[in-house]
Amino acid sequence: MKRPDRPALVRTLRPWLLGCAAAALVSTACAEVLAPGITEPLRDSLLSAAAAGTVHAVNVKEGDRVAQGAIILELDKALEELEVERRRVVYESRVELEAAGQRATLLRADAESNRRLFEKSVSVSREEVERRELEARLGQAEYDRLVAAKERERIEFAMAQEQLARRRVTAPFAGVITDVRIELGEACEPRQPVVRIVDLSRATFVANLAPELCAGLAPGRTVTLRIETPTGVKDVTGTLEYVAPVIDAGSGLLRVKAVFDNPDGAIAPGALGHMVVQ
């Protein structure tokens, strides 16, 4: 699944961000520098179906919160369900295997008994002993063949279950449904984008800083982020996750990314703010 393109807002605000970054560089003499940036969701996925089919059920709508593994969308799956049931019945049947196992045990015991009689007396011929031992080996070989066949049946059962699972689109992580692009009864093609899910519980703050401001910044360091929300500026603590090792040739700046918790979802992805650099 491809990550969606960065919102057009970032491209629109680029001149503003670059201008603010330049202004921040001028103020390096201050004890505190505010580097402008924008928030992005930590996990933002555009989901698609793995197989072609007709949409049988759409279990979500835009704005719904879903748990990891929740079934978001289902394609028509009657044939796949029947195949799973058929393979399950075949795999779980143990009658032939158990009968072959019992026969192999009896033949082995009979061959051992005849061998002991032959060794102690002449009441059993060598030819009879060898015939019984051959029957025992053949009985064991038949049991081993059925054991291998049962393993193949297990694999075929698992493959049928996987084919059924491919008729569903499930949430790869807990999040909020922000876009549903298909309706009940519509045809769906493999890799066709159908649903967008965003994890709002954690987010990233991306800023572009002048190289002089990045001295001492390294992944793992905590920073203060001042982010604009509808109710005012909110200060949150973030942890630096990435400091670009290469200066952007176009802007002369370094890209810096910090991760912060957003459990209540109060900070919407795309919000503007500043990273406090000291």
Q: Which amino acid is at 22?
A: A
For residue 224, give Cα distances in angstroms to 118, 269, 277.
Answer: 90, 17, 8
Give me the amino acid identity at 223.
Answer: V
pLDDT greater than 50 at residue 22 = no
Would the pTM of this model clear 0.75, i.e. be above it?
Answer: no
Q: How many C-beta neighbours within 10 Å does residue 256 have? A: 24
Instruction: Collect all residues with Cβ–Cβ distance below 8 Å to 247 and sequence separation of at least 6.
Output: 211, 253, 254
How confident is the model over 210-263, as pLDDT tens digits?
888 888 888 999 999 999 988 889 999 999 999 999 998 888 999 999 999 998
Paired tokens of 35: 């580097």
Output the six-digit token pair for 75. 């394609």
pLDDT, tens only, 139-174: 999 999 999 999 999 999 999 999 999 999 999 999
- When pLDDT is cut at 50, 70 and 90, the band that residue 30 belongs to is very low
Order of all β-strands in the sheet with 187-188: 168-170, 71-75, 53-58, 187-188
74 forms beta bridges with 57, 168
> CB–CB of 252/21 below 8 Å?
no
Cα Rg of the chain (Å, integer) = 33
pLDDT in tens, 94-122: 999 999 999 999 999 999 999 888 888 87
Host H or E run for residue 8: helix 8-26
pLDDT at 266: 85
- What is the rounded distance in angstroms from the CA atom of residue 95 to the CA atom of residue 153? 14
